[in-house]
Copies of this chain bind each other. A is one copy, B any other.
Amino acid sequence: MTPEAAIGGNARPEVEIRQELYRSMLRTRRVEEAIVDRYAEQEMRCPVHICIGQEAPPTGVSAHLQKQDHVYSAHRSHGHYLAKGGDMPAMIAEIYGKADGCAVGKGGSQHLIDLDAGFICSAPILASTISVGVGDAWAARRRGEDRVIVIYFGDGSTEEGAFHEAMNFAGVNKLPVVFVCENNLYSVHTLLEARQPENQTVRRLGPPNGMESFDGDGNDVEEVWRLAEYAVNKARNGGGPTLLEFHTYRWMEHCGPLDDTHLGYRSAEELESWKARCPVDNYRDRLIEDGSVDQAWLDSEESTLHKEIEAAFTAAQNGPFPNAEELFRHVYPE
């Protein structure tokens, strides 16, 4: 089945998968909202890149991933981490710089990791983890390990030469990678038009690097789910890499918890029009409409989630900071 066929048709996931897709998006949304709400307390003392508005891509992709599959991310990583099953309390503790953080407080929001969940790393240098993920795929092949590698990045990252180098190597070697570009139109405050050739999408960069590519609505989790199914299965079955581009939109400021339309680089109308396409709420409405969920289910999800998040924040806030000696540990492995 080609992805065009998948999108063209209206193949939909089973009801349980729909619920799971919704649950996962909602969870990321609520966790991010909790960070947004509390950031002003000045206890999360590191940069945070909030992904509200962009919950669908990692959710739809992760639905096809197994535990042993590996995910790589960049600066806007919370959603990628959570969707892959990353330990949420460890992420919150990490943002609070605490000893229970997933990186013992050494990394903060920009260096999430959960090896058990297969979330390998995130890092805030554009495009830098892309080649690392490609090397993971290469190692998997070489060692006969069965896993698919998913690498997330933004539209801005595709301007880095390292991105092209990594894509070329993956294409030449037909590695089991799914490259996922979340195209949210902006790199910080700069529109795509100022940075890349006009009337083109990031998707164009697949074929010259020896791989198929597709783009789709990044606010429609089922469209993501269909495209990802094709790409992940292909990678798993030795069909080589695919570039997927999802069109989506960031709601909050580039870095930090606030609305930033007052800066003037984008209009409040533009933001509102994308909010009207909210991946979470629209999917909820659709699931109610088609009978996949009902209000009681939604309420219970919200309440479970609320408790989970409150507990994580409380634990993170009350948890100990790393000791001073921790500063000198881990420079070299023992």
Contact = CB atoms under 8 A, between A and B. Distances in A.
Contacts of A161: 160-165
Contacts of A139: none
A195 interface: yes
A162 B204 CA distance: 18
Interface stretch (A181-189, A205-213, A249-257, A296-304): A205-213
A177 to B, nearest CB: 14
Contact of A204 (B160, B197, B198, B208): B208
Nearest to A208: B204
Contacts of A165: 159-161
Interface string A186-206: 000000001111101000110
Scoring A159, A197, A210 by chain B CB atoms within 10 A of each residue's CB, the highest score goes to: A197
Copies of this chain, whole number: 2
Contacts of A209: 197
B210 A208 contact: no
Interface string A204-237: 1101111000000000000000000000000000
A168 interface: yes
A171 interface: yes
A256 to B, nearest CB: 29
Nearest to A203: B208
A24 to B, nearest CB: 33
Contact of A172 (B168, B171, B197, B210): B197
Interface residues of A, number: 22
Interface in A144-184: 159-165, 168, 171-172
Nearest to A127: B161
Contacts of A159: 165, 168
Interface string A77-91: 000000000000000
A120 B88 CA distance: 57
A157 to B, nearest CB: 12
Contacts of A204: 207-208
Contacts of A194: 172
Nearest to A162: B161
A32 B21 CA distance: 67
A195 B198 CA distance: 29
A242 to B, nearest CB: 14
A215 B171 CA distance: 22
Interface of A: 159-165, 168, 171-172, 194-198, 200, 204-205, 207-210
Given A197-B209, A204-B208, 12 more contacts: A159-B168, A161-B161, A161-B165, A164-B164, A168-B196, A171-B197, A172-B196, A172-B198, A197-B208, A200-B208, A205-B208, A208-B208
10 contacts: A160-B161, A161-B161, A161-B162, A161-B164, A161-B165, A164-B164, A168-B196, A171-B197, A200-B210, A208-B208
